Structure 1
Amino acid sequence: MNWILLIVGGLFETGFAVSLGKAQEHSGKEFWLWMLSFVICVSVSMYFLYKAMGGEQAIPVGTAYAVWGAIGATGTVLAGILFFKEPVTFWRIFFLTTLVASVVGLQIVSSEA
């Protein structure tokens, strides 16, 4: 269950980054709606990160934060490509892949300890 909370929290991290990007594109009422979206997403994201690190099957803080951050970073890059017309280059995808591989590797060596 904690892993599900962590994954959902990472997705909401993507949501708060996208909300900030969209807020920069708008003004007036739309700006404030995107800022409200940001506040909700960051609150939910942090709460799920907090919950994932507690309880009977707590995920260690270092692992939880690394996975949460990698989910958010990956989702934000992909959202930037889809919603903000950011470039898709070999190097962006390469380093995004190495980020994910590094977090998987961290999890593998952490479970061996």
Structure 2
Amino acid sequence: MSWVYLILAGCLEIVGVILMKKYSLTGREIFAFGMLVQFLLSFAFLSLAMQGIAMATAYAIWTGIGAAGGVLVGIWFFKESKSVKKLFFIALIIISVVGLKALS
């Protein structure tokens, strides 16, 4: 169940980043409130995940999911640049997350 919590925590981190971007674009406080809720939930699920996964592994995977997901969402929904170099390094993050899972 720890891995489910960790993946959920990473996905909530991505949603929090989306709401952060929406808040920065609009200034609407509802997005700031939603961002706060998402980040709190993300930390809560990360904490639950750490009960069964080593801290270093859980944190690395959580940040990897958040970073890769944030970049991909930025490219798909906010029309941010998608250079070959950026996609290459995002692929490295994803490969690293898979590698950490395989070694755990």
Counterpart-to-counterpart distance in 1, 2:67 and 2:47: 18
- Matched residues, percent identical? 37
SS at match of 2:17: helix
* CA root-mean-square deviation: 1.2
User: C-alpha displacement at 1:67, in angstroms?
Assistant: 0.8
Tell me the matched-pair count. 104
How does the TM-score come out when normalised to structure 1?
A: 0.86
Tell me, in whole angstroms, the C-alpha distance in 2 between the residues paired with 1:4 and 1:107. Answer: 12
Q: Does 1:22 align with 2:22?
A: yes
TM-score of the aligned structures, taking structure 2 as reference length: 0.92
Please name the residue that 2:71 is paired with: 77
Name the aligned partner's letter for residue 3 of structure 1: W
Partner of 2:44: 47
The higher radius of gyration belongs to: 1
The CA deviation string for residues 14-58 of structure 1, in whole angstroms up to 9 with x for no partner, is 11111111101113xxx101001101100000000000111xxx1
Ranges of 4+ aligned residues in structure 1 off by more than 6 Å? none
How far is the alpha carbon of 1:104 from its aligned partner? 2.7
The aligned amino acid for 1:96 is: I
Alignment gaps of 5+ in structure 2: none
Q: Equivalent residue of 2:30, what SS?
A: helix
**Which sections of structure 1, spanning at least 5 residues, go unmatched?**
none
CA contact (8 A) 2:49 2:58 kept: yes
Q: 2:99 aligns with which of 102, 105, 110?
A: 105
Deviation of 1:101 after TM superposition, in Å, equals 1.5
